[in-house]
Structure 1
Amino acid sequence: MTFTEDLARQTDDLWQQIHAMPFNREMAAGTLRRDVFQGYIVQDAHYLEGFARALSLAAAKAPTATVLAQLAGSASGAISVERALHAHYMGLFGVSDTAFTRIQPSAACDHYLSFLLRTAALGDFPEAVAALLPCFWIYREVGREIAGQSQPGNPYAAWIDTYSGEAFDQSVARMLSLTDTLGADADGPTRARMERAFRRACWHEWRFWDSAYRMENWAQPPEARHSLAEPTGTPVGVA
């Protein structure tokens, strides 16, 4: 069993919940509400910017130029694919650059990015890579599953095609290979840190989708005068 196969085994409970959650089931059926998906896409665009920064922090810690190039290549491939997807849907939904900048990251998005950036900045290189892996790997697996269930005319076909496509698959394969190499070379304490980081990131993947489906924003105390994000009553991600 490879290191990443063992990671998948250890987090099987979370993976099953992610595959079964309403957001992904309804996307596969093409019945996911448009406003829910719009909110998700806006938050995902915010997330991608922070994810790119975390990847850059991790790459700076790479032990060799070869590994640095491998991680940078994986990052570049995945990010270019996702940026094109976001641009497609932003245009479709009429979300301008100005409108996008007015929409703040949700609590779930902010929490996930804080975890990734902290791990990439303060953790060692193997731990950082393990924390970044679920964003690649889980999206590929969910994309593949939905692609096998989706029918022609699904309004979310562009999303499905992106994450079940060859370009994204190649980026994921490179990240899996790198993680397996790092895991095989790691000592016991390092492997334990990698496992904890991977599981926490899997939880954040579940939380991000769950929050988007519920259109959750920042919870406020009843008497709060100022919101941490958007004005009261403004749905997350809706311009």
Structure 2
Amino acid sequence: MPTFTEEAWTRNEALFQKTLAMPFNRELADGTLSAERFRHYMIQDAHYLVAFGRALAVAAARADDADTMVQLAEAAQEAVVAERELHGGFMQQFGVTPEQFAAVPLSPSAEHYTSFLLATAWGAPWPVAMAALLPCFWIYAEVGRDAVGRSAPGNPWQAWVDTYADEHFHGLVTRMRATIDRIAEASTPAVRDQMHAAYTQAARLEWMFWDAAYRLEQWPV
């Protein structure tokens, strides 16, 4: 019988393939993504990380045992610190000052995603909150794995590709999956259904986030 995460991946395989095929991810891998689009993405992703870190911290505080609490707290630190280091390099490359970064609001899609994660972290059953957090880890790892095999020499975004293709990051995903599978096994069928719904919604919002970056999404009013 498949685990929860195996089943979640199977249910959302078509969505993942659409994510891989997005112009943003294809061009990111082959190095043809415009600097304007990548800059938009990096600024929005840096904003997103603040909310993602908070959602992970809430999940850690709600954990059902001390080991899981430590795991989630460390995951929050690793994800936010490592990615902020990556972002910092690109921010310098693009000449984006801290003041300029702070002046850029969350895009509509980024605000939708962060609001969903925080609302789920605070208000949904803890297993559901955990399921909502998984796509950010897992989908990025698999997009990175795919991109590293297609990345062209001299890709200006190679540092991004290397970060998410790294085995250390994939190990983090493996540990998150194992924890969520344990939680799901102990949950009721009704809660597992909610977990699947939360996973799918987060996976959709991942697609929307990349699509928004490619469109240079702004608030229309």
Which TM bucket (shorter chain)?
over 0.9
Aligned to 2:192: 191
Tell me the distance in 2 between the aligned counterparts of 1:181 and 1:77. Answer: 22
Per-residue deviation, 1:218: 1.2
Conservation of the 8 A alpha-carbon contact between 1:39 and 1:212: yes
Structure-1 residue corresponding to 2:124: 123
TM-score (norm 1): 0.90
Alignment gaps of 5+ in structure 2: none
- The question of 1:19 aligning with 2:16 is answered no
Q: Determine the structure 1 residue equivalent to 2:86.
A: 85
Structure 2 partner of 1:52: 53
CA distance in 2, matches of 1:129, 1:73: 15
Between the aligned partners of 2:139 and 2:220, the Cα distance in structure 1 is: 28
Richer in helix (by share): 2
Partner of 1:214: 215
**8 Å contact kept, 1:107–1:218:** yes
CA contact (8 A) 1:74 1:174 kept: no
How far apart in 2 are the matches of 1:64 and 1:93? 43
- 1:5-41 alpha-carbon deviations (Å, 9 max, x no partner): 1000111121111010000001111100110000000
Deviations 1:32-84 (A, max 9, x none): 01100000000000000011011111111101111111111222222221111
What's the C-alpha RMSD, in Å, of the aligned pairs? Answer: 0.9
Where 2:156 maps in the other structure, the secondary structure is coil
Letter in 2 for 1:138: I
Whichever residue aligns with residue 47 of structure 1, its letter is Y
For 1:105-131, what per-residue CA distance to the aligned partner results, in whole angstroms no more than 9, with x for missing partners? Answer: 101100000000000000111000000
Counterpart of 1:224? Answer: none
1:170 deviates by 2.0
Whether the aligned pair in 2 keeps the contact of 1:42 and 1:100 (CA below 8 Å) is yes
**Is contact 1:74–1:172 with CA below 8 Å preserved after alignment?**
no
Q: Is the 8 A contact 1:116 1:132 kept in 2?
A: yes
Provide the C-alpha distance between the structure 2 equivalents of 1:116 and 1:16, rounded to a whole number of angstroms.
23
Structure 2 counterparts to residues 1-239 of structure 1, below 5 A: 1-220=2-221
- Please tell me whether the aligned partners of residues 43 and 105 of structure 1 are also in contact (alpha carbons under 8 angstroms): yes
- 1:29 partner letter: D
Whether the 8 Å contact between 1:38 and 1:93 is mirrored in structure 2 is yes
> Which is greater in Rg?
1
Runs of 4+ in 1 over 3 A off after TM superposition: none
Could you report, residue by residue, the CA deviation over 1:135-173 in whole angstroms, capped at 9, with x for unpaired residues?
000000000000001122101000000000122122212
Query: 3-state DSSP class of the match of 2:62?
Result: coil
Q: Partners of 2:105 and 2:66 in 1: how far apart? A: 36
Shift of 1:190: 0.8
The amino acid that maps onto 2:150 is Q
Amino acid in structure 2 at the alignment position of 1:69: V
Match of 1:236 in 2: none
Distance 2:83 2:3 in 1: 28
Residue identity opposite 1:63 in structure 2 = D
Q: Equivalents in 1 of 2:132, 2:199: separation in Å?
A: 5
User: Cα deviation per residue 1:197-226 (whole Å; 9 max; x = unaligned)?
Assistant: 000000000000001100011122xxxxxx
Q: Percent identity, please.
A: 47
In 1, the alpha carbon distance for the partners of 2:67 and 2:151 equals 39
